[in-house]
Amino acid sequence: MKFAILVNEAPFSHQAAASALAFAQAVLARGHALLRVFFYFDGVQNANRLAAPAAEAGNLVRGWSALAEEHGVELVVCIAAGLRRGVREANLAPGFRISGLGQLVEAASEADRLVTFGA
């Protein structure tokens, strides 16, 4: 099965981002395809390499980067949402790239399932 994931919440203020990462890891561990993870609204903060989480919170930004490096998963940040929240090419974590909403539409049309995390 082919999955795409939409993350709408920031990494350290809501459980959605951690749940999305755990789901992505489970999808890959079970041999499914993960076509793309799209970060929208406050979810674009998952791509900010300047984030400094509390030690007990874990580092979701690094977790997403590791997922991209280890499995070749596309991590796409919405350009409009990123600009509004200060996420730009200059402060992107490794493995992320900036693009438009067309990437979300394409992922949704190619995947068997689009799973959304956050409001």
Tell me how far apart the alpha carbons of residues 70 and 6 are, in angstroms, rounded to a whole number: 20
Instruction: Determine the Cα angle at 69 with ends 106 and 85, to 5°.
Output: 60
3-state secondary structure of 83: helix
Catalytic residue among 78, 79, 87, 104: 78
Tell me how far apart the alpha carbons of residues 111 and 119 are, in angstroms, rounded to a whole number: 21
Count of residues for the chain? 119
Residue 78 is a catalytic residue: yes
Phi, psi at 8, each rounded to 5°: -110, 0
Tell me how far apart the alpha carbons of residues 64 and 47 are, in angstroms, rounded to a whole number: 8
Report the catalytic residues: 78
